[in-house]
Structure 1
Amino acid sequence: MEEGDALQRLGPDEIDSSCMKGDLAMEVDGQPAREGAATAEDWRRVLAKVVPAVVVLRTTATRAFDTETAGASYATGFVVDKVRGIILTNRHVVAPGPVVAEAMFVNREEVPVYPVYRDPVSL
């Protein structure tokens, strides 16, 4: 799949044509931007859209289970389905045993989260 194909899935309203050329860059130290490169405003617009979907996950494995020890950790994830409340994170974040976990959004709202699936094979 070409890079432009992945950007196409976002739809025309979510990303402007300057980002569709597959060359994402921004100005640094006042250097002039290359033609077709993303500007600082492009980055601000994209970040304003995606940052609210990013969460900090606080997990506590309440007891040792399988090869994992009990303990607490912090990680990140992002909302992939707002309606169903599904957050995607890395496999190692969700312990194989019982966990107590919360997600904190950028506005400091905290919600309890529960594991739905943990891939038993992938690292």
Structure 2
Amino acid sequence: MTLRHEAFLDHVKERGDYDTPQKAERAARVVLALLGAHLVGQVRAQLAARLPEDFALILLNPLQSAEPLSPERFVRATAAWIEGATEQTATWDVSAVLSTVADTAGDDLLGQILLQLPVGYDLLFGHPKPT
């Protein structure tokens, strides 16, 4: 099921405690552009199919990444793309967006997404794996 643009952003805005929809939108765009560089094939296509169309296009046309970023470097890259962001605020941004993505994806697809990502992303998605 595809979430409507407003509904997706409302979730991000609420989780990120943003004071404007524009800030939630900016975080969503940057995080999805970075995430898209890490996902390939069916997994990326299936996730895109569950996102609002404009966010799906961002995921499918990502910022290029030479190598998969560790969770820490993913947060740093997010901070670099968001004006005025710090690593602390970027962690918040990543978490707000990826936890919304996790809910949108559902458990089965999230499991496949996490298989394509370096270790530690389960925490960024707000779904820590049992050890």
User: TM-score, normalised to structure 1's length?
Assistant: 0.27
From the CA coordinates, give the structure whose radius of gyration is larger: 1
Which has a greater percent of helix?
2
User: TM-score, normalised to structure 2's length?
Assistant: 0.26
Which has a greater percent of strand?
1
